[in-house]
Structure 1
């Protein structure tokens, strides 16, 4: 049986937890992906002989963990894609960062571009506006736990903006964060997600716990 952790499923949508270090969808490496794991899960659960349709609705970077939504039908894909476009889906992240913000609640605003050569986000005048709202949940002399919501969805937006603010994510050495034991992961997790059902009334709200290893920093 597929080892994917399913949080929610109806006739049109399925939500699963992406482990840090696992691809959102397959690439040239042919490494395991959450999309592939969900397909395998549905194929085995419903004993489907042929290919299984699973629509990718959004992505998380490979080293990031957390909640991902997938469509089981074309109608589900259409309805949820519209919600993503209209930004009516509520997404919340938590990040363990080096340092402490000057204020408990704040907003970061930057203009970002994607550096194609370095495969990184970068600040540049005239770039797309990126807005990040944060709240300090916990802190000590060296680290802070932040609750985060963003406007937009630029390449590596959270990672870039926190690094620019002098608050790099633990494990994210690409953006000046300090290294930690799990080289395939960074301390960024998509912890909460709310969306409207595809074909009926009702809001689905999902939540996952923070990775246990984060506790070692407090």
Structure 2
């Protein structure tokens, strides 16, 4: 069962689990569980995805309840007429909030994009971020006997593929659990010491003006057991409440 965090006559939002694909893909033929099909069976009607989350990322994921509603709402997501808030655990300590404006070249899939242009210009990519908490753990990942980590809040202002993961890697503060852009030593430490086997990136909040009621809508997704266990271990407060707010 998926956790439904919001539902009305127009849309439904769930807290997507880490590791679950949004919909069926020929690139992952062996997979048998998908958010889209699971949600359809759970609520007894077809759903239409309005945006996506990477497979290893958890958090707020919104579906329209008809193709007509999807066609009306899709431009909102495509034109970024909403605010997305993510939380992540990254390597090292970031001391102050900032905005990273660092263009990213389009990331192509070797199979799905094999006929796409390889020489496209880098696209604008902007991420606002701020540190929320720090920890220094008594485990070595290199020359020092301890290792530092930071809890980050991030708000992407653009929607490039793997933008947050690539931007944090560019800052030399890769997100823990990122097997593509991250650092294997830190990923291994979290698996072996903290029993954390996921990407520590969570889409915690999505806020926008409801296209039909015209009221502000704030959708919030709570943190899973891995996150909660790490909060307790590191002595960090849960960074935000878990309820959804319709104003």
Q: Same fold (TM over 0.5)?
A: yes
What secondary structure is seen at the aligned counterpart in 2 of 1:111? coil
> Structure 1 residues 104 and 125 mapped into 2: Cα distance closer, same or farther (>3 Å)?
farther
**Structure 2 CA distance for aligned equivalents of residues 184 and 7 of structure 1:** 24
The residue number in structure 1 matching 2:53 is 60
Compute the displacement of 1:33 (Å): 1.1
Q: Counting strand residues as a fraction of each chain, which structure ranks higher?
A: 1
Match of 1:196 among 209, 213, 219: 209
Question: How big is each residue's C-alpha offset from its partner over 1:9-43, in whole Å with a ceiling of 9 and x where there is no partner?
Answer: 01110000100011111123243111111101121
**Structure 2 CA distance for aligned equivalents of residues 24 and 169 of structure 1:** 21
Is the 2:206–2:219 contact (alpha carbons within 8 Å) kept by the matching residues of 1? yes
**Structure 2 CA distance for aligned equivalents of residues 160 and 94 of structure 1:** 15
Is the 2:101–2:126 contact (alpha carbons within 8 Å) kept by the matching residues of 1? yes
Is the 1:93–1:191 contact (alpha carbons within 8 Å) kept by the matching residues of 2? yes
> Structure 1 residues 125 and 81 mapped into 2: Cα distance closer, same or farther (>3 Å)?
closer
Question: How big is each residue's C-alpha offset from its partner over 1:92-122, in whole Å with a ceiling of 9 and x where there is no partner?
Answer: 0001111112x41111122212143499xxx
**Structure 2 CA distance for aligned equivalents of residues 94 and 23 of structure 1:** 20
Matched, 1:111 2:103: yes
Is the 2:5–2:15 contact (alpha carbons within 8 Å) kept by the matching residues of 1? yes
Compute the displacement of 1:184 (Å): 5.6
Compute the displacement of 1:217 (Å): 4.1
Aligned length: 203
The residue number in structure 1 matching 2:11 is 13
Q: Unpaired segments of 5 or more residues in structure 2?
A: 113-118, 137-147, 236-247
- TM superposition score normalised by structure 2: 0.75
The residue number in structure 2 matching 1:139 is 134
Q: Unpaired segments of 5 or more residues in structure 1?
A: 44-51
The residue number in structure 2 matching 1:49 is none
The residue number in structure 1 matching 2:123 is 128
**Structure 2 CA distance for aligned equivalents of residues 198 and 24 of structure 1:** 23
**Structure 1 CA distance for aligned equivalents of residues 7 and 108 of structure 2:** 37
- TM superposition score normalised by structure 1: 0.85
Compute the displacement of 1:86 (Å): 2.6
Question: How big is each residue's C-alpha offset from its partner over 1:21-72, in whole Å with a ceiling of 9 and x where there is no partner?
Answer: 11111123243111111101121xxxxxxxx321111111111100100000
Is the 1:137–1:145 contact (alpha carbons within 8 Å) kept by the matching residues of 2? yes
Matched, 1:213 2:229: yes
Is the 1:21–1:184 contact (alpha carbons within 8 Å) kept by the matching residues of 2? no
